[in-house]
Structure 1
């Protein structure tokens, strides 16, 4: 006597949507689901954020350089080492994260300045 088995599937080549369709189909057969195509891959250059550039406090004690590749360098007078790391723009917030893991929140004001730890930074 021969046992009837369900079709064998190699699940290592199936995506999450396909596996979900198989699981929800009750094992009777494979049903097709409409799946959106993957998002397009952007190639070429990416527009740098509007805040990219050099920023300096009025007294020159703080200088912040925001690169177009979302990295930054921060120097504060009296500190031997410059802070550097990456930043993200979220509306008017700038979230700085240095390479040691320290996180600092800065804000772009309505006047177009950057407020950072009590300092107003102007475009240099």
Structure 2
């Protein structure tokens, strides 16, 4: 019997579910599940909605799909991206700049972000 000089190569074929699971950091047997989680409720008040500083220099829109859009006076680029709720704080992640901004959820129904107090708009 002759042995081949060609080394054995593993050629694994993956279906669409397996490829999606790998791309999303999951294993196929755990299921794909939702990519973005709906924001949680903190101290009985939902964080989802429009927020604004009293002087109007900072505005923030938190959406139910885990994304946000904002506006800061004097800044040409509007911040936007995703957010994650962790206990009594949010972490905003800007899609373009990669900037991560912590936001405190205060029990008085306010948000505090970068020294600005935001109230429901």
Q: TM-score, normalised by structure 2?
A: 0.63
Residue in 2 that maps onto 1:113: 110
Tell me how far apart the structure 2 counterparts of residues 47 and 108 of structure 1 sit (CA, whole Å). 16
Q: CA RMSD in A?
A: 2.0
Distance in 2 (CA, whole Å) between partners of 1:120 and 1:110 is: 12
Between the aligned partners of 2:77 and 2:88, the Cα distance in structure 1 is 28
Counterpart for residue 31 of structure 1: none
Shift in CA distance, 71/122, structure 1 to aligned 2, threshold 3 Å? same
Question: If you compute each CA radius of gyration, which structure gives the higher value, 1 or 2?
Answer: 1
The change in CA–CA distance for 1:47 and 1:84 in structure 2 (over 3 A counts) is closer
1:85 lines up with 2:81 in the alignment: yes
Deviation per residue, 1:59-80 (Å, 9 max, x gap)? 0000000000000011101111
- Residue 110 of structure 1, CA deviation: 1.5
- The number of aligned residues is 86
After superposition, what is the alpha-carbon deviation per residue over 1:12-48, rounded to whole angstroms, capped at 9, x for unaligned?
8xxxxxxxxxxxxxxxxxxxxxxxxx768868xx755
The equivalent residue for 2:65 is: 69
Select the structure that is richer in strand. 2
C-alpha separation between the residues in 2 aligned to 1:102 and 1:41? 28
